[in-house]
Amino acid sequence: MKLNCDLGESFGPWHKGNDQQIMPLIDLANIACGFHASDPLTMQKTVQLAVKHDVTIGAHPGYPDLIGFGRRSMSYSTKELTAIFHYQIGALQAICVSQNTKISYVKPHGALYNDMMVNQEIFITLCDALSQLDKTLPLMVQALPETSFFKKTAEKFGLTLWFEAFADRKYNDNGLLVSRENINAVIHNEEQVIDQCKHLLQHGELISMNGKLLNIHVDSLCVHGDNPAAIELVKGLNIMLKQHALKTNC
């Protein structure tokens, strides 16, 4: 199982996250594309850092909402949303080409990601938009107990889906993330995060806030780079995943 993290979220003189320390410990970097966070120079530096540590690069496009860090839903027509999606992916891809590398997948950010998981029209729009660019790029989505709609839609557009779980987030009974408006939505305690992920690896399930068992298939674990405990969480998850891989291969 791969470990992914949202990175490249600084903007101009404002520093956010711990990219230098986190990048060497992860497999996949979801790099902000300038609309919810980042800027051209930050994108360039983050791509360079990913190349240095042989980390797979993913585009992390979001709503054009720097003030709200892309965590506020916004209303766009299908054509507008498609253009917003293309613009951001294209910008990061150009920077990747300049560094002799490439984008290997796409993961929407924040409110766009959450909206995609609950609004079928938005998910269809993003699948269509991605298929227009490059059908070989997987789309990363949230692992849920029921994924038939997402799989059928992706197949219709010739896309591959990567399913992820969030190491440091709590879940509702339907498998969706607890809203960040809830003060308990993000888990900051390293031991609790590791325990949640160990249970997922061993049993293929998460436990919701109300104790419901959620059976899910997961390709990758995500930890948020803006979590104050991110460095220690990533270190712990890195060790846990390596130990699990060794046991699995024995």
- 231 confidence band (pLDDT: 50, 70, 90): confident
Question: Around 5, how many Cα atoms within 13 Å sit in the side-chain half-sphere?
Answer: 31
Farthest-apart Cα atoms in the chain, separation: 51
Q: What is the pLDDT of residues 160-204, one digit of tens each?
A: 999 999 999 999 999 999 998 899 898 888 899 999 999 999 999
Which pLDDT does position 117 carry in this prediction?
Answer: 97
Q: What is the pLDDT of residues 114-163, one digit of tens each?
A: 999 999 999 999 999 999 999 999 999 999 999 999 999 999 999 999 99
Average pLDDT score over the chain: 94
Report the phi/psi class of residue 11: left, alpha or beta, with left for phi > 0 and alpha for psi in -120 to 50. Answer: beta
pLDDT tens, residue by residue, 147-157: 999 999 999 99
Please, which residues bridge with residue 32 across strands? 60
Residue 227 has pLDDT above 80, yes or no: no
pLDDT band for position 34 (50/70/90)?
very high
How far is it, in rounded angstroms, from Cα 151 to Cα 129? Answer: 16
Task: Please give the torsion angle defined by the CA atoms of residues 56, 59, 65 and 66, in that order, rounded to the nearest 10 degrees.
Answer: 40
Looking only at the bridges linking them, the beta strands covering 28-32 and 161-166 are unpaired
CA 167 to chain centre: 11
Residue 199 has what pLDDT? 94
Q: How many CA atoms lie within 13 A of 137 on its CB side?
A: 26
pLDDT > 70: percent of the chain = 98
- The pLDDT-based confidence of 68 (bands split at 50, 70, 90) is very high
The bridge status of strand 105-106 relative to strand 56-60 is parallel
Q: Which domains does the chain have, with CATH numbers?
A: 2-168+217-223 (3.20.20.370)
Asked if residue 250 has pLDDT above 60, the reply is: no
Q: How far apart are CA 227 and CA 232, in angstroms?
A: 10
Tell me, what's the pLDDT at 88?
A: 98
* Phi, psi angles (nearest 5°) of residue 153: -65, -45
Q: What whole-number distance in Å separates Cα of residue 177 and Cα of residue 144?
A: 10
- Residue 226: the pLDDT is 66
pLDDT at 245: 78
Among 6-10, 159-163, 233-237, the minimum mean pLDDT is found in: 233-237
